[in-house]
Structure 1
Amino acid sequence: MKELINYLLQFGNLNPQQIDLIAQKAVEKELRKDDYFVEAGRMFNDVIFILEGILRICYYNNEGDEITKYFVDENHLLANPYQGEPMTEYIQATTDCRFLIFSQKDWQELSNTIIGWDVIVNKIFQKAMMEKLDRRSSLVSEDATTRYLEFLEKFPTLANRVPLSYIASYLGITQQSLSRIRKNIR
């Protein structure tokens, strides 16, 4: 819980009573490596904060290929930006995961009770959106080697924790190409 509180305090102030309320609403859960947290077509209206592990967001293209769209690791919040609509992607544990989960009802109660909560949450989601745009922009404009080097720079802890096939998919290259790139930059 202290990880979440420290994270929230980067974006605003909370008094001890507010921190206690947040702690009361959070439920800790675990997810085993390769298990799905949410599958496409299912509802996901909760908010989670990852304490340990890595989740990946993926989907299947028209040819049936699995595409990794994004990774979410420790000390990050994850929520469905399209509340009330079924997910179009899968959320899968890339490693064993431990996280805090807030139901939509409890998250709304925090919003209704804690003065300044919405300001904190908006700052968090604005930061996440900027990070996402920054991470994805190089995937469109750079060659494969540069994309991999930027991946290592932006996700320094993921390269040795995530299967190469997921990284290759995220970068939009084949696993063989990624292996060649890795071999050439050593």
Structure 2
Amino acid sequence: METLINYLLQFGNLNRQQIGLISSKAVIKEIKKDEYYHEAGKIPCEVIFLTDGIMRVCYYNNKGDELTKYFIDENNFLADINSYNQQIPSTEYVQAITDCKYIVLSRPVMRELSLTIIGWDEIIAKITAKGLSDKINRISPMMTEDATERYLNFLNNYPGLANRIPLSYLASYLGITPSSLSRIRKNIR
């Protein structure tokens, strides 16, 4: 719970009573490697903060191929903001690619915190803005880079992730085949 509180404090001030309220309302859960946390077609009803492990967000294209959009690692929130806010079915799947532990803030809890904690909505707005900015910064460069540059930038930006993610998922994220990724890795060693 301490990691969640420390993360929230980066975006605003919370007093001891408010921290106690958040801690009392949040629920800690676990999910095993390869299990799906969320499936497309369902409406998200909670926001989670990943404390241990890695999850990936993926979808199926019109050919039925599974594509990895991005990875979420420790000390990050995970929510399909559009589906959550608009209460519409998500188009994405979220899968644990390692054993994971996370903290759940349900919709009713988020509403209660919004009504009880002055500045809560501002904290959440700042976290959401950071998440959207991170997503844009992650996707935009990949559109102009070749496969080797994308891989090297991934290693540079996420040095701790490459060895924890199956190559097939990493290749999917980079938009290349696993054999192409193997060749790239061999050539840069």
Q: TM-score range by the shorter chain?
A: over 0.9
* TM-score normalised by L of structure 1: 0.98
Q: 1:87 aligns with which of 85, 90, 94?
A: 90
Tell me, in whole angstroms, the C-alpha distance in 1 between the residues paired with 2:188 and 2:131.
30
After superposition, give the CA deviation of every residue in 1:13-43 in whole Å (9 maximum; x if it has no partner): 1000000000011000000000001111112
Map of 2:36 onto structure 1: 36
Q: How does 1:27-176 map to 2 (within 5 A)?
A: 27-81=27-81, 82-83=83-84, 84-176=87-179
**TM-score normalised to structure 2 length:** 0.96
Give yes or no for contact 1:45–1:79 (8 Å, CA) kept in 2. Answer: no
C-alpha distance in structure 1 between counterparts of 2:25 and 2:79, whole Å: 16
Q: CA RMSD in A?
A: 0.8
**How many equivalent residue pairs?**
186
Tell me, which stretches of 5 or more residues in structure 2 are unaligned?
none
AA aligned to 2:61 is N
> In structure 1, how many angstroms separate the alpha carbons of the residues matched to 2:146 and 2:61?
22
**In the TM superposition, what is the alpha-carbon distance from 1:167 to its structure 2 partner?**
0.6
Shift of 1:155: 1.5
Q: Extract structure 1 runs of 4+ deviating beyond 4 A.
A: none
Residue in structure 2 matched with residue 7 of structure 1 by the alignment: 7
State the secondary structure of the residue aligned to 2:164.
coil
What residue ranges of structure 1 are gaps of 5+ in the alignment? none
- Alpha-carbon shift at residue 103 of structure 1 (Å): 0.8
SS at match of 1:63: coil
Q: Secondary structure at the match of 1:98?
A: strand
CA distance in 1, matches of 2:10, 2:186: 39
Amino acid at match of 1:149: L
Secondary structure, in 3 states, of the residue corresponding to 1:160? helix
